[in-house]
A and B are shown apart, each in its own frame.
Chain A
Amino acid sequence: MELELRGITKRFPGVLANDDITLTVRSGTVLALIGENGAGKSTLMNILSGRYQADSGQILIDGEIRSFDGPGDSIAAGIGMVYQHFMLVPVFTVAENVVLGVEPTKPLGVLDKRVAREQVMDISERYGLVVDPDALIETLPVGIQQRVEILKVLRRGAKILVFDEPTAVLTPQEVTEFFGIVAELKARGSTIIFITHKLKEALAIADDITVLRGGKVVGTADPKVASVEELAAMMVGRDIATKVVKETVGGGEKVLVVENLTLTDDFERPLLKSVSFEVRAGEIVGIAGVQGNGQTELVEAITGVLPVSSGGVYINGENVTNDSPREHHSIGMAHVPEDRTHVGMVGSFSVRENLILDSYYSPPFSRRGRLNGASISDFATELVERFDVRPPLIDNLASALSGGNAQKMIVAREFSRDVPVVICAQPTRGIDVGSIEYIHEQIVRKRNDGKAILIVSTELDEIFSLADRILVMYNGAIIAERVTTETTPIEIGLLMAGRAAEAGAR
């Protein structure tokens, strides 16, 4: 089926999320829709799915104008959405999830579980998507959960499949498999929209590429001839400097030492397997890995948020293992957490209050249990200025800041203290290019000041532009260590997939 959008416009209070978007997806082809966070991709997707109604514009399927008042209409029109955050009920079985909304029933509305199971088996055989229909979703790995999502839309007879950032949570191996699935779907006549900000993936599987920026279509490209650089420039609206300038600083003392850190989950299964490494003064160590391979747990263990089962963490020789986050903080560790809005700040607090969120208890902000308003305001005003948080109003609520500015506020808080160890988890996830550059600069400046810096990122580009050394995490263990100048993104990518042998062979 062919899908055409004509002049789709959607306005939210104060924002034009989609501005006169016109595009066509040819029947049986893959269209990659690329754009930065905030470019309007998700809004467009929600309009396609019927969750939002466009203020103006038309959706045409096979040349026929369709209007969607709700998700039901969109589904009926043959559109199937595969969301980035899987829309699955964790305590239901695969079959229950697949049939939800279009349940096969016997009289009285009784579920026909046998038919449901058969339907799942049937589709999964037809498309080669192997999955156990009776497995509970919560017991399945993400790659399989994604298959269930795909089964779900196929079960509803979707001819146009929309994938929202489908590879974000997949291992490289699973990504390869996913591309296979897409090819299979295409071969069977499905039309596919692939929403992503990963340009290489767009080039790899798309037949056409459409670029969104600021809610508008800013261009199209032919993947056979376009380059990553061209697409990137189109996506952000200017050339991006991919390299951060770094001066070489000699290897200093070992400042942060992590020894045989081991952590298990509730069921005694390992989350961290004897992780050891050290970070020297004036060095940035990057931890690369696909999301969900233990990086989050590693950072939480190092910063004292999660208690470890065994092993040790040392700052300048001082044992801080299983000390509280407060003790880590006072001994000399700064931590930019990976989840900005839920972990890094208190949205309903003012910028001022957020800037002292982890130092409020110490002088000069607090004396004998009393907060010192004047010194807090002075401090906040200075930081907001220094770290370019916009708008520079310390009484604004933190939730009113854009992602980039919120992150700058958190970085300001953490970087304002002169501590030997700085840990940044996903420091630039989901923020605008300007803020990314700014934060990268700040990180490099800290390094040049002789701090020991640990960066955790799932973005290889970020790792390569910042880190002096790269550690690769896979399945809870550090499986490789490379000096950045002596390795390639390809090698690290293979290592991230757990393919140490292949990577070594190269």
Chain B
Amino acid sequence: MTPPSPVDEQVVDPHVSPSSRERSRFPRGLHSVVARLRLGMNRRSSLVVPPLALLSALIVGAVIVMLAGVGLGETLSAYRAMLDGSVGSVRAISETLTAATPLILAGLSVALAFRAGLFNIGGEGQMLIGGMFGVLIGFSLTGLPIFIHLPLAILAGCIGGALWGLIPGLLKARTGAHEVIVTIMLNFIALRLVDYGLKTSLFQREGRSDPISKNIEATAELPQLLGWLDSSLRVHLGLVVGLVAAGLIHWLLFRSTMGFEFRAVGANSTAARYAGMSISRAYILVMMLSGALAGLAGTGQVLGVLDRASPGFSAGIGFDGIAVALLGKSNPWGVVAAALLFGGLRAGGQEMQVSTGVGIDLIAVIQALIIIFVAAPAVIRALYRLKTTAEATRISRGWNS
């Protein structure tokens, strides 16, 4: 047997026995070149995964459509309609952006929590509560100018979501209650609360017996961005809010002291605690911020699209946020890209359903498949015979004697 090549030993395996590593004295320059090369390779291969995941999900989706008795030609034309409906026209693009807007915010909400090591499944509930706060301010205040009323309503939405996010944050920080369980439960509680609230005189529209809220004032509406072109183009200012939020979250995570803390807590909470960070504070802050983002998503829907609240108006967007965050690798700009993709799927799905009769629920299936492929990159690698070094680093975990 020949001894291992020193370059391999130095770079590929991070858990190499220290003694053998130290003794091979190789020029530092070489380490650096190889190490950079390896980093680059990993990055590239992880960039390849999302598009392949999308492709695979579309293929599997098509198979499902055909299994449901739709012919190949029709299936292809359904996909064609989906493409048309998402980017085929100004209207389609407007619809895509409209659908992407809450997804950006919900995705950022999940991504921020992910970065701090928390899995916020509570986007639905936080959207609902935030949206209810926003709608309340939206219809109850009258006579305010838009530049006061709208920000107030948006702020209220943030506060509502933050409060709903605060509960799991506090419980996690103070009692260790797992945020996944708590947020799942809070989703259902929020759903029932909204059902109840919409039947109270505070929210319910006069003269209605079904649970539906009053309409918001025009001064609380998020203005349409392309209204000057065609008043039926629905894309609204919420998109800008979402993009600004992405920029802010990116700054927060990677440029700010607080973000450093969040990421440290997420990556290794014990080390963070020993380094003097307050884990409780981080959990509480992150869940509030995460809740506020989801609340913003809900508020954007009621102020920009729906103009009122109805039971379950979050419509699964909070859950889609999980998929968006996963696909976007919890990077704020990645989240924006993923949200645009999912927004396109949603808008395209509408078109597909209307023009070809293939149900829009297919979109949920495709999204679920995308998450599977993204979360299990090994599946993609196996399917496409990609070679990467990413797995190699993991195999040797704890191998040191």
Chain B min CB distance to A351 (Å): 11
Alpha-carbon distance A397/B400, docked complex (angstroms): 18
Interface size classification for chain A: 35 or more
Say yes or no: B28 contacts A9, CB within 8 Å. Answer: no
Binds A, one of B60-68, B174-182, B268-276: B268-276
Complex CA gap A432/B17 in Å reads 9
**B18 touching A391 by the CB < 8 A rule?**
no
User: Among the listed stretches B69-77, B189-197, B219-227, B251-259, which one makes contact with chain A, having 4 or more residues with CB under 8 Å of it?
Assistant: B251-259
B267 surroundings in chain A (CB, below 8 A): 346-349
B400 interface neighbour in A38, A329, A346, A391, Cβ under 8 Å: A38
Determine if B257 and A391 form an interchain contact, defined as CB atoms under 8 angstroms apart. no
Contact of B14 (CB < 8 Å), options: A16, A358, A400: A400
Q: Does A215 sit within 8 A of B, measured CB to CB?
A: yes
CB B158 to nearest CB in A, in angstroms, measures: 19
Q: How far is the CB of B92 from chain A (nearest CB, A)?
A: 40
Contact flags B233-274 to A (C-beta < 8 A → 1, else 0): 000000000000000000000011110110110011011111
| Alpha-carbon distance between A213 and B276 when the two chains are bound, in angstroms | 39
**Which residues of A329-371 are within 8 A (CB) of B?**
329, 335, 337, 339, 342-349, 353, 357-358, 360-361, 366, 369-371
Q: In whole angstroms, how far apart are the Cα atoms of A15 and B399 in the complex? A: 11
Digitize A407-443: 1 where CB-to-B-CB distance is under 8 Å, 0 elsewhere. Answer: 0000000000000000000000011111100000000
B275 (CB) vs chain A CBs: closest residue = A358
Tell me the bound Cα distance from A403 to B13 in angstroms. Answer: 12
> Smallest Cβ distance from A164 to chain B, in angstroms?
9
> Does A326 lie at the interface of the complex (its beta carbon under 8 Å from any beta carbon of B)?
yes
CA gap between A464 and B270 in the complex, in Å: 31
Q: Is the CB of B257 within 8 A of A369?
A: yes
User: Which of A39-47, A170-178, A182-190, A480-488 faces chain B?
Assistant: A39-47
B1-44 at interface with A (beta carbon < 8 Å):
1, 3-4, 8-23, 28, 31-32, 35, 39
Hey, what's the 0/1 contact readout for A15-35 against B, CB within 8 Å counting as 1? 111011000000000000001
Q: Given contacts A41-B401, A402-B21, is CB(A325)–CB(B274) below 8 Å?
A: yes
Contact A12 B13 (CB under 8 A): yes
Q: Contacts of A403 on B, CB cut-off 8 Å? A: 18, 400
Return the chain A residue nearest B399 by Cβ. Answer: A12
Tell me which of B19, B258, B395 contacts A38 (CB under 8 A): B19
Is B392 engaged at the interface, CB distance under 8 Å to the other chain? Answer: yes
Bound Cα distance A40, B400 (Å): 8
Chain A residue nearest to B395 (CB atoms) is A13
Partner of A9, one of B1, B268, B271: B1
Known: A13-B395, A391-B31. A37 touches B18 (CB 8 A): yes
Contact A404 to B22, CB < 8 A, known contacts A12-B396, A370-B257: yes
B271 contacts across to A, CB distance below 8 A? 342-346, 357
- A369 in contact with B18 (CB, 8 Å): no
B278 interface hit (Cβ, 8 Å): yes
B19 cross-chain contacts in A, Cβ below 8 A:
36-39, 213-214, 236, 432-434
The answer to whether B274 and A335 have CB atoms under 8 Å apart is yes
Q: How far is the CB of A323 from chain B (nearest CB, A)?
A: 10
Q: How far is the CA of A335 from the CA of B275 in the complex (A)?
A: 9
Residue pair B255, A357 in contact (C-beta under 8 Å): no
Contact B18 A15 (CB under 8 A): no
Residues of chain A within 8 A of B257, CB atoms compared: 360-361, 366, 369-371
> In the complex, how many angstroms separate the beta carbon of B156 from the nearest chain A beta carbon?
25
Are the C-beta atoms of B260 and A16 separated by less than 8 Å? Answer: no
Closest Cβ–Cβ distance, residue B16 to chain A (whole Å): 5
Interface residue? A309 (CB, 8 A): no
Q: Does A405 contact B (CB under 8 A)?
A: yes
Note all chain B residues with C-beta closer than 8 A to A390.
22, 28, 31
B277 lies within 8 A of chain A by Cβ: yes
Give, as a whole number of angstroms, the nearest-CB distance from A447 to chain B: 23
* A389 → chain B closest CB, angstroms: 11
Expressed in whole angstroms, the Cα–Cα distance for A11 and B136 within the complex equals 66
The minimal Cβ–Cβ distance linking B82 to chain A, given in whole angstroms, is: 37
Mark B380-394 against chain A: 1 for CB-CB distance below 8 A, else 0: 000000000000110
CB <8 Å contact, B276 and A15: no
Interface magnitude class on chain B: 35 or more
Q: How far is the CA of A9 from the CA of B2 in the complex (A)?
A: 11
Known pairs A37-B17, A345-B268; A13 contacts B275 (CB<8 A): no
- CB-nearest residue of chain B to A406: B18
Contact of A392 with B17 in the complex, beta carbons under 8 Å: no
Smallest beta-carbon distance A131→chain B, Å: 29
Q: Which of A280-329 contact B (CB under 8 A)?
A: 303, 305, 324-326, 328-329
Smallest distance from the beta carbon of A402 to chain B beta carbons, Å? 4
Determine whether the beta carbon of A369 is less than 8 Å from that of B32: no
Contact of A434 among B16, B17, B22 (CB under 8 A): B22
| Distance (whole angstroms) from the CB of A66 to the closest CB of chain B | 22
Q: How far is the CB of B74 from chain A (nearest CB, A)?
A: 47
A14 in the interface, Cβ–Cβ < 8 Å?
Answer: yes
Cα A305 to Cα B269 with chains together (Å): 13
Least Cβ distance of B23 to chain A in Å?
8
Q: How far is the CA of A433 from the CA of B21 in the complex (A)?
A: 12
Complex partner residue of B275 from A12, A36, A41, A325, CB under 8 angstroms: A325
Flag if A15 contacts B9 (CB, 8 Å). Answer: yes
Residue of B nearest to A11 (CB): B4
Q: A383-398: which residues lie under 8 A (CB-CB) from chain B?
A: 390-393, 395-397
Q: Which residues of A contact B17 (CB under 8 A)?
A: 15, 17, 37-40, 214-215, 402
User: Any chain B CB within 8 A of the CB of A475?
Assistant: no
Q: How far is the CA of A328 from the CA of B274 in the complex (A)?
A: 11
**Chain B contacts for A221, CB-based, 8 A:** none
Q: Are B20's CB and A14's CB within 8 A?
A: no
Q: Given the complex, which residues of B lie within 8 Å of A38, measured CB to CB?
A: 16-20, 400-401
Interface centre among B14, B32, B39 (most CB of A within 10 A): B14
The answer to whether B400 touches A370, judged by C-beta atoms less than 8 angstroms apart, is: no
* Residues of chain B within 8 A of A377, CB atoms compared: none
Contact status A371-B8, CB under 8 Å: no
Which of chain B's residues have a CB closer than 8 A to the CB of A41?
401
Q: A14–B400 contact, CB under 8 A?
A: no
Which residue in B13, B39, B270 is a CB contact (below 8 Å) of A13?
B13
* Closest CB in chain B relative to A7 CB, distance in Å: 9
B392 near A13 (CB under 8 angstroms)? yes
Residues of chain B contacted by A434 (CB below 8 angstroms): 19, 22-23
Kindly provide the distance from the CB of A196 to the nearest chain B CB, expressed in whole angstroms. 11
Q: A213-B19, A392-B28, A404-B22 are in contact. List 18 more A-B contacts (CB 8 A).
A: A14-B11, A15-B8, A19-B3, A39-B17, A41-B401, A324-B278, A326-B278, A344-B274, A346-B264, A346-B268, A348-B267, A353-B264, A357-B271, A357-B272, A358-B274, A391-B31, A402-B22, A435-B18
| 11 residue pairs A–B, Cβ–Cβ below 8 Å | A13-B395, A15-B399, A39-B401, A43-B401, A214-B19, A335-B274, A343-B270, A348-B268, A353-B264, A371-B256, A393-B31
Binding site for B on A (CB under 8 A): 9, 11-17, 19-20, 35-43, 213-215, 236-237, 303, 305, 324-326, 328-329, 335, 337, 339, 342-349, 353, 357-358, 360-361, 366, 369-371, 373, 390-393, 395-397, 399-405, 430-435
Q: 3 closest Cβ contacts across the A-B interface? A: A38-B17, A42-B401, A326-B276
